[in-house]
């Protein structure tokens, strides 16, 4: 795992006005499913919405869901040529989250945060997970409402900028 530039990450979050709860989610690079289960106090499941093979890639869309409903919408581009066959088999099965697959196969990997953003209704990030014979390009969007209802974020009228 590569060393992260924590100060740079904090500076970026503070400059853009991210709340602490948003920072924790956007800056977390373990399995998102585990983090969300801890936030919502119940297991979060991966629900495969769509998975297609197109132009040498797998394009995958999932929702991470719990009693609060969908708490994350994720889309991923998975280049077939840059991923091991055993990883591709687990991805094709659609039963596990990508972070779980990386952990199960014990692939040494690094995560590179490419972009973060926020609005009144959601906050999001895009990043890559890379390692030996592994490349996942992930975009995750987190709707604010379930996080506000869980007390993880302030409500919309409590200082969120557009």
Reference 82, options 118, 106, 109; nearest CA is: 109
20-79 pLDDT tens trace: 999 999 999 888 999 999 999 999 999 999 999 999 999 999 999 999 899 999 999 999
Domain 6-149 class in CATH: alpha beta
Give the separation between CA 141 and CA 49, rounded to whole angstroms: 15
Give the separation between CA 85 and CA 33, rounded to whole angstroms: 23
The model carries a pTM of 0.88
Q: What is the pLDDT of residue 154?
A: 87
134-162 pLDDT tens trace: 999 999 999 999 999 999 998 754 544 44
- Give long-range contacts, CB 8 A cutoff, 24+ apart: 4-7: 4/29
The structural domains of the chain, with segments of one domain joined by +, span 6-149
List the single range of 38-47, 83-92, 102-111, 145-154 with lowest mean pLDDT: 102-111
Give the separation between CA 127 and CA 26, rounded to whole angstroms: 10
Q: What is the pLDDT of residue 1?
A: 36
């Amino acid at each position: 795992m590569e060393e992260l530039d924590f100060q740079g990450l904090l500076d970026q979050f503070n400059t853009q006005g991210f709340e602490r709860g948003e920072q924790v989610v956007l800056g977390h690079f373990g399995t998102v499913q585990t983090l969300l289960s801890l936030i919502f106090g119940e297991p979060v499941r991966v629900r495969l919405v769509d998975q297609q093979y197109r132009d040498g890639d797998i394009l995958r869309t999932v929702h991470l869901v719990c009693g609060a409903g969908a708490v994350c919408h994720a889309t991923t581009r998975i280049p077939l040529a840059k991923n091991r066959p055993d990883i591709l088999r687990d991805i094709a099965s659609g039963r596990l989250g990508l972070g779980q697959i990386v952990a199960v196969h014990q692939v040494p990997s690094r995560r590179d945060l490419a972009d973060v953003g926020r609005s009144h209704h959601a906050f999001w990030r895009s990043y890559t997970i890379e390692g030996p014979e592994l490349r996942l390009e992930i975009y995750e969007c987190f709707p604010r409402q379930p996080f506000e209802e869980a007390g993880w974020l302030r409500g919309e009228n409590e200082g969120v900028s557009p």
